[in-house]
Amino acid sequence: MALVGAWVAYQAQAFISVNQIGLAIWAWVLSGLVIGYEINTRMNDVAQSVPVKAKQQFKKVKNQTQPLSSGVVVSLFVGVLVGALVASPIYFSNSRFYAAIKANDFEGVESAAYLKPQDERRLFMLAGIYRNAKMDAKAVEVLRESTVTYPDSYNMWNLWTLIPTATPSDIAYAKAQLKRLDPFNPDL
């Protein structure tokens, strides 16, 4: 029951947070555990319902390997192919962004930050790079665009309050958004 409950909880969270790597790992783990549990309990149920003499024959049959049917192989291939097609745009855009950071290619970082599918972390890192490079106007521009797309990003609004050249009205608005996102924070 706990395993099925954890799997159902994962499905509910995955419905809300589709694009999270941590959830994808739990999908594989929980699905494998559910399938493995079913397979292990199925063998025990069959073995308990078989008489003693038949148990010996069952052990002989159990040790024999069964070839995979063509339907299983095809469905496995199609599943892996669909999974690779879904994950590849995210993987390639993130890898281009981090490769540009590693190579200190500023123009590459700028272009890779806006690759589709967009990612809040890449835009946040780009704004942080602009801020660290004392390019506050560009940082505010990135933050202005990204907070429209990701209005519930606490990190984006917080970074906006740390930019020294931001207008007082922008800082006040960012602090109001931080208070909206974290109403019990006494520092806001």
Whether 70 is in a domain gets the answer no
- The helix/strand count (H/E) of the chain reads as 9, 0
Whether 29 is in a domain gets the answer yes
- Say if residue 183's pLDDT is above 70: yes
Whether 25 is in a domain gets the answer yes
pLDDT digits (tens, 9 = 90+) for 120-149: 899 999 999 999 888 888 999 999 999 999
Helix (H), strand (E) at residue 114? none
- Say if residue 114's pLDDT is above 70: yes
What range does the domain containing 44 cover?
Answer: 1-58
Q: What is the mean pLDDT of residues 96-105?
A: 90
pLDDT digits (tens, 9 = 90+) for 45-98: 555 555 555 555 555 555 556 777 788 888 888 988 998 888 888 889 888 999
Whether 37 is in a domain gets the answer yes
Residue 106: pLDDT band with limits 50, 70, 90: confident
Whether 158 is in a domain gets the answer no
The pTM is what?
0.58
Tell me, what's the pLDDT at 119?
Answer: 87
Contact between 131 and 164 under an 8 Å Cβ cutoff? The reply is no
Whether 139 is in a domain gets the answer no
Whether 9 is in a domain gets the answer yes
**Better-predicted residue by pLDDT, 19 or 77:** 77
The total number of structural domains that make up the chain:
1
Whether 63 is in a domain gets the answer no
Rounded to 5 degrees, φ, ψ at 5 are -60, -45
